[in-house]
Amino acid sequence: MKVVIAGGGWSGCAAALAARKQGAQVVLLERTDMLLGTGLVGGIMRNNGRYTATEELRAMGGGELFDLTDENSLHRDIEFPGHRHASLYNVAKMEPMVKKLLLAKGVEILCQARMTDVEMKENRIAAVSGKQGDEPFRLEGDVFIDTTGTAGPPANCNKYGNGCVMCILRCHAFGGRVSLAAKAGVKEMTARRGDTFGAMSGSCKLLKESIAPEALATLNKTGVLVVALPESKVLKGKLALKCCQQYALPEFEQNIVLLDTGHAKLMTPFFPLDALREIPGFENARYEDPYAGGLGNSIRYIGMAPRDESLKVEGVENLFCAGEKAGPLVGHTEAVCTGTLAGYNAVRNVKREKPLVLPDSLAIGDAIGYVQKQVRTDEGLSLKYTFSGSVFFERMKARGLYSTETGKIQDRVGKAGLTGVFTGK
């Protein structure tokens, strides 16, 4: 059984681990020189309903990556506007930890390996190809997983955003995102934002050293720094740009909200540098990601694959998807949960076993099923879905799915007959 995964973000890493635990040979292709994709500059975990989803996946035997983010947290159980019991992982240390775990489990990782082509045999993928550095590669597989995400490439950031602002994805250096599903002939979906398309990433990072010592000391100690903005510096309308609708609250427009993820994570899509430097404590502010964070941010949610509740891509017999590719699901937790199911079901597909569909009695199952239906409507495609806020967290609360009681969550998983289902051999 050979599983080939394109895209080494959180969803691709989770899919690789899950497939490997089911005994498959797994090759993970990543076009840049590091795993984790947008997760290289993320860090927020366990906020609001993400806590529940994390504990559900752990109860199902898929918790290894969450064990790593917990272990690598700079701050635990913190609060910031609209968000409770969050953990913040250290972005500087996360990627090597994940890579080490995957290698130890026997996943073959090819970095700087950009998939650019697909060979089809009727409605199945026979092989993918591309270049690793200057060397061409061609990989046959029994089943494939598209975890290439939805960010960029620069043409989309130019067309739907404020241009390439030089984000962590480093498209100019490594070549832009290429979608496996699209190459296999699948007609993809694009999120809408009013009259335009896609959504802008919702945070940028400042170099910690560029912040005044007193402000930095508070940030380092508590994990959070909230500084009220004078009325003249409030940029109205920025919230509507955001893909992270869980942070589209007035508090994020009226204040500077910084979180300590190793970087000083500034919870706004962009903030003009000159205006930022007029605020006490930020006189020397400098962006770390994106480098042009004063101008804009990356555009995401272009190119999502239509798929069923088992995460199989419609129209291709041996293709699964996860993370942002599987719909407007925002977040690392969401990527790890969907990645784990996609990896697991990819192996069942090879074994000709019925795919696992998680029930809606679990927050993870409900999210996967709900988003699959929502994207069929224009309104649904204009929203983003996350366990941590906005529409889906409201739904979790209304359906009684939100909980921070691990025992209760384990019972729920047990009642669904899914305890340890992803544990593997």
Binding-site ranges for ligand FAD (CB under 6 A): 6-12, 29-32, 37-39, 41-44, 114-115, 147-149, 151, 169, 177-178, 201, 203, 298, 323-325, 330-333, 335
Distances (CA, A) of 418 to 54, 237, 393, 404: 15, 44, 23, 19
* Residue 8 beta carbon to ligand FAD: minimum distance, rounded to whole angstroms: 5
Closer by beta carbon to ligand FAD, 21 or else 114: 114
Number of H helices, E strands in the chain: 15, 22
Helix (H, G, I), strand (E, B) or coil at 41: helix
Q: Closer to ligand FAD at the Cβ: 183 or 416?
A: 183
Query: Least distance (Å) from ligand FAD to the CB of residue 147?
Result: 5
Show the tokens assigned to 19: 């497939």
Quick one: 380 or 389, whose CB is closer to ligand FAD? Answer: 389
Start-to-end C-alpha separation, the chain:
15
Q: Least distance to ligand FAD from the beta carbon of 206, Å?
A: 13
Nearest to 387 by CA among 72, 155, 55: 55
Nearest approach, Cβ of residue 128 and ligand FAD (Å): 8
DSSP string covering 207-248: -GGGS-HHHHHHHHHHSEEEEEPPGGG--TTGGGGBS-GGG-
Residue 323 beta carbon to ligand FAD: minimum distance, rounded to whole angstroms: 2
The DSSP secondary-structure symbol of 133 reads T
| Joined tokens for residue 370 | 């709900």
CA torsion sign, 348 to 105 to 97 to 403?
positive
Nearer to ligand FAD, 382 or 419 (CB): 382
Minimum CB distance to ligand FAD, residue 1 (Å): 21
CB of 67 to ligand FAD, least distance (A): 16
Nearest CB to ligand FAD, comparing residues 245 and 255: 245
User: Which one, 38 or 52, has the nearer CB to ligand FAD?
Assistant: 38
Give the closest residue to 355 by CA, choosing from 316, 311, 322, 325.
311
Nearer to ligand FAD, 36 or 416 (CB): 36
Bond into 153 cis (ω within 30): yes
d(CA 370, CA 48) in angstroms, rounded, equals 18
